[in-house]
Amino acid sequence: MAPFPLNLPQLLGSPQYFLVYLLIGFAFGAVLEMAGFAVSSKLAAQFYFKDLTVLKVMFTGIITAMVLVFLASGLGLLDYNLVYVNETYLVPGIVGGLIMGVGFILGGFCPGTSLVSAATLKIDGILFALGAFFGIFLFGETVGYFEEFWYSTYMGRITLMDFFGTDTGVIVLAVMIMALLAFVASEYAERVIGKQTQKQPRWRIGLAGGGIALAVVVLVIGQPTNADRWNRIAADKQPQLDSRAVYAHPAEVLHYMADHEIVTMLVDVRSESDYNLFHIRDARNVPYDQLSTIVEEFHALPQNAVVFVMSNDEAEATEAWKYLLAESVVNVYILDGGVNNWITVFGENAFPSADAALAADDQLDFQFAMAYGDNHVAASPHADRFDLTYEEHVVLSIKRGPASGGCG
């Protein structure tokens, strides 16, 4: 999606794109230094409610990014699926936050601000940064002893919208209001506890009103549905369906299943009953109406992964292909002819044909004496037993999904 159809390595080429990260880092550090975050006493003062600049600056950054991200997403300028969101491990996250909070109070820095302080050659900042690096090393050497706890209470790529089960706009507006109330409370605390008498600029009220207005806009325009996202890419992707460029012959699918250098994900979108009658070995049953529950897993697949979706024929698998592409999943292909064609090619006439009068679109064309599942030779055939020719359609694309994130 606009404004960047490619990621930075594609757009600028390596290693030039690292310069962008470097410039962002310098700019972020400069903003922190100008806000006074290189001074530990100023940072520590927030915990005594004397100077809450840290809360105001960081909260301002959070709500500004939040509003702009979801406004751009609502306008179709940004694909939120490609924005990295830290995965949540609830209890380890709480424990880690408490440890970092204690360190923040004692040392007067968080990891990001300690680097800013160290860059300005402040001794306490340098020592804190060195301590942070030592802590990282120590963690890496000892995590094996508490790895089970480290990976416990996993909740995935969860957001407030997911947690509360509400619309994005509602959360954006609620967080904006919460931030503004926190600003009011912080200014009150600074006057009463911190004895600050400095007058606050009047234009901040206008900015607050502007923030509320943008949050309301996000609420009104909403976020694009899967159908909206498909409509935006249909002009580019529909011709691939029409030319059958994304339909992979069963022999091509079998080839990738046997290729140990490729991560092959087989997604069977049929009903559980059809899946139990017969399915390709290692195929995962995810009915079409449940695809949204595993989109996160698709985004986490490595660069060398290819996804094959299948139904009895092609109709439902084609809809699944559209759904996944609209969710920014790459390297997705459809099993040509579906499971019916797979059985035709590799079944060696093991199953009699179903009554043609009872056959319907995207239904199994064969009769089964029992529920075979994948316990039949046709579920995992040996390619060398078949002399098949086919046109290759699979072309691996560079993954565009979210890859990593960090914390200041």
pTM: 0.80
Look at residue 357 and tell me whether its pLDDT is greater than 80: no
Among 168, 192, 226, identify where a domain stops.
226
304 and 218 share one domain: no
Residue 358: per-residue pLDDT: 53
Q: What is the Cα–Cα distance from 65 to 29, expressed in whole angstroms?
A: 17
99 lies in a domain?
Answer: yes
403 lies in a domain?
Answer: no
Give the range among 13-22, 38-47, 222-231 with minimum mean pLDDT. Answer: 13-22
CA geometry: angle 141, 146, 150, nearest 5 deg: 100
188 and 282 share one domain: no
13 lies in a domain?
Answer: yes
Q: What is the Cα–Cα distance from 97 to 35, expressed in whole angstroms?
A: 23
Arithmetic mean of pLDDT over the chain: 88
CA geometry: angle 273, 278, 281, nearest 5 deg: 120
94 and 169 share one domain: yes
16 and 94 share one domain: yes
Quick one: tokens of 119?
């860059």
394 lies in a domain?
Answer: no
Among 199, 226, 253, identify where a domain stops.
226
221 and 335 share one domain: no
Q: Any idea what the CATH number is for the domain that residue 242 is in?
A: 3.40.250.10
Look at residue 243 and tell me whether its pLDDT is greater than 70: yes
396 lies in a domain?
Answer: no
Number of domains present in the structure of the chain: 2
180 lies in a domain?
Answer: yes
188 and 253 share one domain: no
- Residue that is written with structure tokens 């962002």 in the block: 24
222 and 249 share one domain: no
- Residue that is written with structure tokens 């369906």 in the block: 241
The answer to whether 366 and 313 have CB atoms below 8 angstroms apart is: no
In this prediction, residues 4-10 reach a mean pLDDT of: 55
Residue 1: per-residue pLDDT: 46
Look at residue 35 and tell me whether its pLDDT is greater than 90: no
292 and 157 share one domain: no
Among 191, 226, 261, identify where a domain stops.
226
Residue 278, domain extent: 227-385
245 and 282 share one domain: yes
CA geometry: angle 318, 279, 256, nearest 5 deg: 70
Residue 8: per-residue pLDDT: 57
28 backbone φψ class: left, alpha, beta (φ>0; ψ -120 to 50): alpha
148 and 204 share one domain: yes
Cβ-Cβ contacts under 8 Å for 224 (sequence gap 6 or more): 73, 74, 76, 232
Look at residue 359 and tell me whether its pLDDT is greater than 70: no
- Residue that is written with structure tokens 């600028």 in the block: 12
381 and 342 share one domain: yes
**Residue 18 or residue 205, greater confidence:** 205
3-state secondary structure of 61: helix
In this prediction, residues 114-118 reach a mean pLDDT of: 92
In this prediction, residues 109-114 reach a mean pLDDT of: 89
Give bridge partners of residue 359 from the DSSP assignment: none
194 and 333 share one domain: no
The answer to whether 193 and 51 have CB atoms below 8 angstroms apart is: no
Q: What is the Cα–Cα distance from 51 to 190, expressed in whole angstroms?
A: 6
175 lies in a domain?
Answer: yes
In this prediction, residues 23-46 reach a mean pLDDT of: 88
CA nearest to 343, candidates 398, 392, 274: 274
Q: Cα dihedral angle (390, 392, 393, 398), rounded to 10 degrees? A: 160
Q: What is the Cα–Cα distance from 115 to 55, expressed in whole angstroms?
A: 19
pLDDT-derived band of residue 3, with 50, 70 and 90 as boundaries? very low
How many other CB atoms sit within 10 Å of the CB of residue 127? 15
402 lies in a domain?
Answer: no
